């Protein structure tokens, strides 16, 4: 388990991490999210004692990193895939790490096979693609079979097979009771990988909760309804005190609606439904909502579509379902 206690880091006038406290438990994949400049990399570097906090502390299994004997056996990390001497082969890089950390030589072949680099084990790192470098970095993190693993953007440069492999690997490691902490900007991949989320913005903690709860709290759910009997549907919804928003293709969306209740309501009023489907909010939508005020590097403005009109209070708000 990794624990952060009131962790703060300043670089001159820049407050990179601001009084950050949270725990990274064992047995789950914990995702670490935040906009660019939020302080994620600085936080991960302080966990490994590569940067020293201005105040506060980090412990790994109850100890500071500097106090851990054989730290590679306690925590393995991938922070920078290209942090390898370019003249060394993949095998020699891992062998050097193994010998300096009293890891059996046979483990080098095991991790090379695990990450799919056996065929290029004797090639020098300078000729590696980004994806091959990522695999070598992951092999380095796994070399001493540590209880705790930390990955910063582990899927960068990986092909679809590699992404699926690292996703399944992290889930398997967590299922073995290990601590797995992973940072990524790929929301779709994080949604498939992480069980728990820690979100920071401008160095401060914004959220620390399970994935499903994070999405539920920071985005809206809706039920999409499509019917050739729009007038009857709107009357039925109005009579039940429900509000619908016009969607595409003549569809309507009931925010926070219950599909069972809406289906029964339509049936009771003789409304034929061509579609009744719950709309699942995405992690990306929830993340954008949560961090809207914490974005440090914001791109230029874009033309946003106007919000969908709402109907429900009375006939004055009724729409046919098509945008003007």
Between CA 33 and CA 26 the distance in angstroms is: 18
Between CA 226 and CA 63 the distance in angstroms is: 58
If asked whether residues 192 and 264 sit together in one domain, one would say no
If asked whether residues 112 and 241 sit together in one domain, one would say no
If asked whether residues 206 and 263 sit together in one domain, one would say no
Between CA 117 and CA 95 the distance in angstroms is: 14
What pTM was estimated for this model as a whole?
0.77
pLDDT bracket for residue 300 (50, 70, 90): low
* DSSP labels, 97-135: HHHHTT--THHHHHHHHHHT-GGGTTSBGGG--HHHHHH
Range of the domain at 179: 2-213
If asked whether residues 163 and 14 sit together in one domain, one would say yes
Asked if the structure places residue 24 within a domain, the reply is yes
Query: In sequence order, what E strands does the chain have?
Result: 2-11, 14-24, 29-33, 55-60, 75-78, 148-152, 179-183, 196-201, 204-210, 222-226, 244-246, 252-255, 275-279, 310-311
Q: What is the pLDDT of residue 18?
A: 94
Token representation of residue 214: 């994070």
If asked whether residues 18 and 101 sit together in one domain, one would say yes
What digits encode the pLDDT tens for the residues 102-112? 999 999 999 99
- Percent of residues, the chain, with pLDDT higher than 90: 64
What digits encode the pLDDT tens for the residues 11-66? 999 999 999 999 999 999 999 999 888 999 999 999 999 999 999 999 999 999 99
If asked whether residues 173 and 206 sit together in one domain, one would say yes
If asked whether residues 75 and 185 sit together in one domain, one would say yes
Helices and strands per DSSP (H, E), number in the chain? 11, 14
Give the end of a domain, one of 187, 213, 239: 213
CATH number of the domain enclosing 159: 3.40.50.300
Asked if the structure places residue 323 within a domain, the reply is no
320 vs 118, more confident: 118
What digits encode the pLDDT tens for the residues 301-311? 444 444 443 33
CATH number of the domain enclosing 224: 3.30.70.790
Asked if the structure places residue 322 within a domain, the reply is no
- What is the count of structural domains for the chain? 2
If asked whether residues 110 and 160 sit together in one domain, one would say yes
Give the end of a domain, one of 213, 242, 265: 213
If asked whether residues 268 and 178 sit together in one domain, one would say no
Please choose, from the candidates 116, 115, 80, 72, the residue with its C-alpha nearest in 3D space to the C-alpha of residue 96.
Answer: 72
Asked if the structure places residue 233 within a domain, the reply is yes
What digits encode the pLDDT tens for the residues 113-151? 999 999 999 999 899 998 899 999 999 999 999 999 999
What digits encode the pLDDT tens for the residues 163-211? 999 999 999 999 999 999 999 888 888 889 999 999 999 999 999 999 8
What digits encode the pLDDT tens for the residues 229-281? 999 999 999 999 998 988 777 899 888 788 999 999 999 999 999 999 987 77
Asked if the structure places residue 120 within a domain, the reply is yes
Whether the CA torsion 73, 75, 81, 85 is positive or negative: it is negative
320 pLDDT higher than 50: no
Contact of 225 with 252, CB cutoff 8 Å = yes
Token representation of residue 2: 């990794």
């Amino acid at each position: 388990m990794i624990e952060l206690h009131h962790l703060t880091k300043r670089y001159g006038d820049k407050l990179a991490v601001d009084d950050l406290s949270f725990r990274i438990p064992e047995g789950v994949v914990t995702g670490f999210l935040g906009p660019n400049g939020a302080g994620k990399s600085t936080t991960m570097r302080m966990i490994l004692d590569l940067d020293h906090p201005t105040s506060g502390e980090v412990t790994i299994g109850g100890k500071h990193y500097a106090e851990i004997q054989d730290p590679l056996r306690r925590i393995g990390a991938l922070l920078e895939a290209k942090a390898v001497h370019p003249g060394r082969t993949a095998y020699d890089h891992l062998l050097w790490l193994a010998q300096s950390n009293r890891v059996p030589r046979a483990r080098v072949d095991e991790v090379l096979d695990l990450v799919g680099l056996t065929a290029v084990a004797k090639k020098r790192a300078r000729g590696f693609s980004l994806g091959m470098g990522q695999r070598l970095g992951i092999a380095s993190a796994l070399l001493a079979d540590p209880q705790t693993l930390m990955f910063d953007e582990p899927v960068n440069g990986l092909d679809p097979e590699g992404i699926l492999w690292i996703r399944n690997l992290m889930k398997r490691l967590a299922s073995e009771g290990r601590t797995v902490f992973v940072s990524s900007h790929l929301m779709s991949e994080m949604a498939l990988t992480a069980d728990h989320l820690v979100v920071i913005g401008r160095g401060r903690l914004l959220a620390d909760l399970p994935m499903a709860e994070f999405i539920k709290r920071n985005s809206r759910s809706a039920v999409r309804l499509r019917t050739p009997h729009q007038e009857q549907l709107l009357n039925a919804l109005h009579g039940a005190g429900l509000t619908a928003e016009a969607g595409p293709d003549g569809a309507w969306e009931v925010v926070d609606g219950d599909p069972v209740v809406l289906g029964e309501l339509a049936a009771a009023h003789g409304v034929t439904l061509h579609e009744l489907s719950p709309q699942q909010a995405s992690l990306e939508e929830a993340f954008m909502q949560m961090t809207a005020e914490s974005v440090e590097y914001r791109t230029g403005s874009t033309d946003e579509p106007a919000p969908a009109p709402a109907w429900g209070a009375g006939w004055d708000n009724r729409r046919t379902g098509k945008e003007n």
